[in-house]
Amino acid sequence: MRSFPIGGVHPSDNKAWSRGSAIETMELPDVVNIPLSQHIGAPAVAKVAKGDKVLVGQLIGEAASFMSANVHSPISGTVTAVDMQPNGQGLRQMMVTIKREGDEWLPEIDRSTTLVEHCDLAPKEIIERIKAAGIVGMGGATFPTHVKLSIPEGKHAETLIINGVECEPYLTSDYRTMLERGELLIAGTRIIMRAIGVDKAYIGVENNKPDAVKHLRELLGGDKSIEVLSLKTKYPQGGEKQLIAAVTGRQVPPPPALPIDVGAVVCNASTAVAVYEAVQKRKPLIERVVTVTGKHLASPKNLLTRIGTPVEALVAKCGGLPEGDVRVLNGGPMMGRPLVNISMPVMKGCSGIVVMDGGDVHRGKESACIKCAKCVEACPMGLEPYLMYKLIRKKAWDDLERNDIPICIECGCCQFTCPAYIPLLDQVRFGKQTVMGIIRARNAKK
Amino acid sequence: MANRFFIASAPHLHSDYDASRLMADVVIALMPALAVSAWVFGLKVLLVTAVAVVSCVLLEFLIQKFVVRGPLTIFNFSAVVTGVLLAFNLPADIPLWIVVIGAVVAIGVAKMPFGGLGKNPFNPAIAARVFLLIAYPVQMTSFPAPRIDFVDAYSGATPLAALNEGKVDFAEFDAQGMFLGAMSGSLGEIASLALLVGFAYLLWRKVISWHIPVAVLGTMAVFGVCVAATRLQGDVDLLWQYPLFHLLGGGALLGAIYMATDYVTSPMTRCGMIIYGVGIGALTMCIRLWGAYPEGMSFAILIMNGMTPLINKYVKPKRFGAK
Amino acid sequence: MNTLIFTVVTLCVVGIVAAIVLYFVAQRFKVEEDPRINETEKMLPGANCGGCGFAGCRAFAAAMVERDDISSLYCAVGGADCMKRIADYLGKAAPVKEPMVATVRCGGTCEKRPHTNSYVGTQSCAIASSVYIGETGCAYGCLGYGDCVAACAFDAISINPATGLPEVDADKCTSCGACVKACPKGIIELRKKWPKNRAIYVSCVSKDKGAVVMKACKAGCIGCGKCFKVCEFGAISIENNLAFIDSAKCRLCRKCVGECPTGAIKMIGLAPLAKKEEAPKPAAAPQPEAAQPTVIEKSKE
């Protein structure tokens, strides 16, 4: 069974809560707040002002630079404000507020459901369309897809890997997408292969989703250029570097090296579907599948949701928040960000909303490190979390750099596994930010 | 009722391991050996173990309550593990006051002064055993005869002591008897099969990894084969009998599986664990063959405990993607 | 007997050889250092707080000795006396600096700024602030986990459990600036230290608009500008919906304090401006009726 080479943990995935529910379309929201920064890189620049009428799919924010992404209106209506609104973490960021009037789409968007497989566009044009559609990595990292697919001068892509691993526990949005929109996913994969000029693609799926593997293999039939790989169920199998290692056996060297340095390009499964829609149907990224789940949520669901819909509307559709203490997460329970404000809008990178309640909202009581070495064993990057923790408490930044803290992928395996409930990742994340800041400052001086 | 929102950064899940569960698992793993020992030496075994455990826990409680005034950690079972392991290193006939002194050394000297669980450089049970061995050599080496004698000729002496005095006749080597506990020795080390059952349990529960025990026992076996090769005198069977005698005849299994793998005093990386295990194995054999004591396991572990910080400093795991 | 002599002689020889080797090694690796650095270091407080911008007291002492112009170097912990002694010893002009004190500019106590959620992660301001807004609705206010307390080498700052806010003991504060650097929200400022620890400052750093501030905190600066209008010394500026009193220009006249509608301007060690003194001003204003009740109220007290 293929898997990444070192570390990893086995959290109970609890996907059964939502894996059985087919993708449902969420009702259109009456008012949406669309953040202009839903991606890594510079925030988009607002293209509309208060009072403007917009249609579904209309550009409302333009990419500010190459490392940025367009933002489109997910509903039709009137712009009522372009100002600072609180995001999920309670911090204010620039958002466009639109009040819905009907559901009128831009005429050039093809809304038919017919599958268009044939594509003879030049690679450049494909990437141009992806860029126009504002597509970003939908697994949560929100890296602009057009940047990822623009292979830098002197580099050469050999394999495309479609990430259908969905190693985050609880989440099933990619799983449902592979099952219900598999043909779109495969069409999207072929388009991306064409864009980056490779003739081999792999779709990596964890072996806790055998029906998805089977379904995709059936759809592919005899096509040898795309291969569906069943990977070991182990977190973080879907981490970009881990997935590349599992599929190709090659390890991406430490930063500043990128996956392309080992000839690999990785795209999320939902992103591949979005690419298909953008290139063949001219449909920008205005909706996505979101898993809404939780132990005491009345009816966990996978919802096809317009970007900008308030999270609380999704939670309400699934039965509302359970009574009492809750911890609501944007993303999965291993890497998701906690929400303090659930009126925040669903964004491009939001693959799931997880509601934890009762005793789960608290952390275990911290005790002394017993040097059990479980964190070292669990780290998929071969780091020593216990040591980094100690060095951060001592503010020994030079030592931390020597101990390779910048390669940490913040997957959380160390903290998950620590029997003393030490908040290892809290500190390591802080230490990594500090050390990266020191490195940047040093490089800027040179 | 309005919801209260709780915030903490990822990860939001935790494995079901916690420190007390790990320690409790070690205690469970030691139970079969305790049962065999009680059968072999009689119920006084249970008394010694009980005294050791109670005095360790009580001492830790008293120190934390009145001296250190820190949070109480007696409920994480670590003192219980120390107590059981200490008892396992003593002869069944030992006077109970010596057991209490052992507990004082283990908890009061080797553990708490360094800051308690997680900060002690040396395994408390081993430190106590070595102290007792030096302070009370007579009581520590007078072992009662087991219910089933190993070989009639030298009942009362441990197999290793007999070997040291050149009294072992390998023609009468009874591997099966030694395996099941038919020999003399300290109360925890004789039940080889039961110790291995505990090892399997610990591996299954993922409490320890195989690296340290396998490195220790493997090194001892290889060492034993080499020594046997020089003493063959035509008897090819000695090639397996001699190393097996070393593995079963003393505290090798107890030390390798339960004492050397002590989290706090063993290295943090797989590679470091192997170096540490090989060191223990080699040192043990050296002490057994050329040292003054017939048994060298506890000294070897103590010495390698001292090396652990050094190993941790210089042996790093291979970073992902590093050349 | 022979053994004894042999042992003693051998030991002596070994000792002599080792001494000779050590002597040459010491000569070879000898570092020439200005002896004044040692002397200067002795005169410094030796807190190694880093408030001067150097790695420790010794590095600072070296800089004092090496540089001709030491006007830019200052040890806030030692203060003016210490600087003068060192300058006299080195024969240089003593650097002069007004005494400063760390000032916590947040008035969002538990009652003025209610908690909206519970943070159960690592209790550190730096970490909590990288996760989200904090336990209250104010994105600028004090988080209360005490990074400043941990940074202080002089035990001069502590969290008051009643308010949840840090308080500076002005007599212990050496204005080394460690807390200023430690606060991820930039709440702590080094301000001019007046006699008897008197102070007037805006106890808020929120750049949010007035309406947002009011929703989150009853003690926040809403940027209304009333204080700016009343200040006669040009010490107050309003930027990003936030008033700021420049401690170099402020004369502690107290006029702004009464003007502030939310009580964000804090006053320490000073009696409130008597309303009678204020009276002529409203009297001159077109609405004497409005001023009247305040005077009556005051006299009742």
For residue A371, give the chain B residue with the closest CA: B264
pLDDT(C113) > 70: yes
Q: What is the total residue count of chain B?
A: 323
C-alpha angle B86/B91/B94, rounded to 5°? 90
Nearest chain B Cα distance for residue A413, angstroms: 8
Q: How far apart are CA A203 and CA A201, in angstroms?
A: 7
Answer yes or no: are the C-beta atoms of C133 and A91 closer than 8 Å.
yes
Per-residue pLDDT at B232: 82
- DSSP letter at B5 equals E
CB contact under 8 A, C132 and B5: no
Q: Kindly list the structural domains of chain A, giving each domain's residue range(s) and its CATH number in brackets, ordered by start.
A: 16-22+118-281 (3.40.50.11540), 27-99 (2.40.50.100), 287-361 (3.10.20.600), 374-445 (no CATH)
The mean pLDDT value for A246-252 works out to 94
Q: How far apart are CA C264 and CA C261, in angstroms?
A: 8
Q: How far apart are CA B266 and CA A376, in angstroms?
A: 13
Q: How far apart are CA A66 and CA A42, in angstroms?
A: 9
Q: How far is CA C173 from CA A264, C61, C157, C160, C200, in A?
A: 57, 22, 8, 16, 17
CB contact under 8 A, B7 and C119: yes
Sorted by sequence, the CB contacts under 8 Å of residue B203 that are 6+ apart come out as B209, B210
Q: Cα torsion at B313, B317, B320, B322 (round to 10°)?
A: 60
CB-nearest partner of A430 from C120, C127, C133? C127
CB contact under 8 A, C131 and B6: no
pLDDT(A144) > 90: yes
Packing angle between helix A173-180 and helix A210-220, nearest 10 degrees? 30
**Type of residue numbered A57:** G
CB-nearest partner of B19 from A325, A379, A420? A420
Q: How far apart are CA A378 and CA C179, in angstroms?
A: 36
Which chain A positions have a beta carbon within 8 Å of B116's beta carbon? 368
CB-nearest partner of B268 from A11, A376, A426? A376
Nearest chain A Cα distance for residue C120, angstroms: 7
Both tokens assigned to A193 = 């292969």
Give per-residue pLDDT as tens, C153-176.
889 999 999 999 999 999 889 888
- Burial class from Cβ neighbours inside 10 Å (0-12, 13-18, 19+) for residue B315 reads middle
Which chain C positions have a beta carbon within 8 Å of B7's beta carbon? 117-121, 131-132, 135
Question: Is beta strand A352-357 parallel, antiparallel or unpaired with respect to A287-294?
Answer: parallel
CB contact under 8 A, C132 and A433: no
pLDDT tens per residue across all 323 residues of chain B: 578 899 999 899 999 888 899 999 999 999 999 999 998 888 899 999 999 999 999 999 999 988 887 788 888 889 999 999 999 999 998 999 999 999 999 999 999 999 888 899 999 999 999 999 999 998 888 888 776 654 444 455 788 887 877 777 777 777 787 888 778 888 888 889 999 999 999 999 999 999 999 999 999 999 999 999 998 877 888 888 889 989 988 889 999 999 999 999 999 999 999 999 999 999 999 999 998 888 889 999 999 999 999 999 999 999 998 87
Q: Where are the alpha helices (DSSP H) in A38-196?
A: 123-132, 145-149, 173-180, 182-196
Both tokens assigned to B37 = 């020992």
Cβ atoms within 10 Å, residue C14: 10
Top residue of C122, C123, C143, C213 to mutate, by most chain A CBs within 10 Å, is: C122
Nearest chain B Cα distance for residue C134, angstroms: 9
Q: What percent of chain A has pLDDT over 70?
A: 100
Contacts 24+ apart (CB under 8 A), B62-65: B63/B107, B63/B108, B63/B112, B64/B112, B64/B116
What is the SS3 assignment for A288? strand
The mean pLDDT value for A12-36 works out to 94
Both tokens assigned to B95 = 């006077």
Size of interface B-C (CB pairs under 8 A): 24
- Paired with A265 in beta bridges are A160
Answer yes or no: are the C-beta atoms of A381 and A406 closer than 8 Å.
no
CB contact under 8 A, C127 and B5: no
Give per-residue pLDDT as tens, A101-110.
999 999 999 9
Which H or E element spans position C265? strand C265-268
Whether C117 and chain B come into contact, CB under 8 Å, resolves to yes
Q: What percent of chain C has pLDDT over 90?
A: 51
The mean pLDDT value for A440-445 works out to 92
Sorted by sequence, the CB contacts under 8 Å of residue B21 that are 6+ apart come out as A419
Answer yes or no: are the C-beta atoms of C208 and C133 closer than 8 Å.
no
CB contact under 8 A, B9 and C121: yes
**In angstroms, how far is CA C216 from the centroid of its own chain?**
26
Nearest chain A Cα distance for residue B216, angstroms: 19
Phi-psi region of B292 (alpha: psi -120 to 50; beta: other; left: phi over 0): alpha
Q: How far apart are CA B148 and CA A212, in angstroms?
A: 62
| Among candidate residues A77, A121, A89, A93, the one with its CA nearest the CA of residue A282 | A121
- What CATH class is the domain C35-90? mainly alpha
Per-residue pLDDT at B142: 84
Q: How far apart are CA B202 and CA C151, in angstroms?
A: 44
pLDDT band at A358 (very low <50, low <70, confident <90, very high): confident
Side-chain-side CA neighbours of C2 within 13 Å: the count stands at 0
Both tokens assigned to C188 = 């702590």
Q: How far apart are CA A15 and CA A152, in angstroms?
A: 38
Residue with tokens 């099952």: A179
pLDDT(C97) > 90: no
Whether A430 and chain C come into contact, CB under 8 Å, resolves to yes
Residue with tokens 């939908």: A138
pLDDT band at C295 (very low <50, low <70, confident <90, very high): very low
DSSP B127-142: HHHHHHHHH-HHHHH-
Greatest Cα pair distance, chain A, in angstroms, is 64
- DSSP letter at A105 equals B
Q: What are phi and psi of C81, to 5 degrees?
A: -60, -50
Q: How far apart are CA B57 and CA A24, in angstroms?
A: 58
CB contact under 8 A, A340 and C139: no
Cβ atoms within 10 Å, residue A405: 26
**Type of residue numbered B198:** G
Question: Which has more pLDDT, B312 or C71?
Answer: B312
Question: Is beta strand A201-206 parallel, antiparallel or unpaired with respect to A226-231?
Answer: parallel
Greatest Cα pair distance, chain B, in angstroms, is 86
**Helix and strand numbers, DSSP H then E, in chain A:** 14, 17
| Among candidate residues B256, B235, B190, B203, the one with its CA nearest the CA of residue B41 | B190
**Domain limits of chain C?**
35-90, 100-270
Chains contacting A with at least 3 CB pairs below 8 Å? B, C
Give per-residue pLDDT as tens, C232-284.
999 999 999 999 999 889 999 899 998 999 999 999 988 887 654 444 444 33
Both tokens assigned to C5 = 């002599």
The mean pLDDT value for A419-432 works out to 95
- Burial class from Cβ neighbours inside 10 Å (0-12, 13-18, 19+) for residue C289 reads exposed
pLDDT band at A288 (very low <50, low <70, confident <90, very high): very high
CB-nearest partner of C131 from A92, A338, A361? A338
Give per-residue pLDDT as tens, A364-412.
999 999 999 999 999 999 999 999 999 999 999 999 999 999 999 999 9
pLDDT(A150) > 50: yes
Nearest chain C Cα distance for residue B10, angstroms: 9
Residue with tokens 């309005």: B2
Answer yes or no: are the C-beta atoms of C270 and C254 closer than 8 Å.
yes
Question: Peptide bond before B11: cis, by omega within 30 degrees of 0?
Answer: yes
- Paired with A25 in beta bridges are A304
Side-chain-side CA neighbours of A284 within 13 Å: the count stands at 27
Which chain C positions have a beta carbon within 8 Å of A430's beta carbon? 124, 126-127, 130
Per-residue pLDDT at C287: 41
Q: How far apart are CA B144 and CA B90, in angstroms?
A: 11
Highest mean pLDDT, choosing among A14-23, B160-169, C96-105:
A14-23
Which H or E element spans position A267? strand A264-268
Nearest chain C Cα distance for residue B5, angstroms: 5
Per-residue pLDDT at B241: 87
Q: How far apart are CA A143 and CA A266, in angstroms?
A: 11
The mean pLDDT value for A166-183 works out to 95
Cβ atoms within 10 Å, residue A402: 11
Q: How far apart are CA C259 and CA C222, in angstroms?
A: 13
Q: How far apart are CA A68 and CA A147, in angstroms?
A: 9
Q: How far apart are CA A381 and CA B137, in angstroms?
A: 49
| Among candidate residues B201, B193, B192, the one with its CA nearest the CA of residue B29 | B201
CB contact under 8 A, A426 and B21: no
- Burial class from Cβ neighbours inside 10 Å (0-12, 13-18, 19+) for residue A250 reads middle
Nearest chain C Cα distance for residue B172, angstroms: 50
The mean pLDDT value for C210-229 works out to 92
Average pLDDT, chain A: 94
Nearest chain A Cα distance for residue B103, angstroms: 20
Q: Which residues of C touch A (CB under 8 A)?
A: 116-117, 120-122, 124, 126-127, 130-134, 137, 139, 208, 212
**Helix and strand numbers, DSSP H then E, in chain B:** 14, 1
CATH for C100-270, options being 3.30.56.10, 3.50.50.60, 3.30.70.20, 1.10.1370.30? 3.30.70.20
DSSP B176-210: HHHHHT-S-SSTTTS-HHHHHHHHHHHHHTTSS-S
Which chain C positions have a beta carbon within 8 Å of A91's beta carbon? 132-133, 139
Residue with tokens 């390998």: B170
Q: Write the ipTM.
A: 0.90
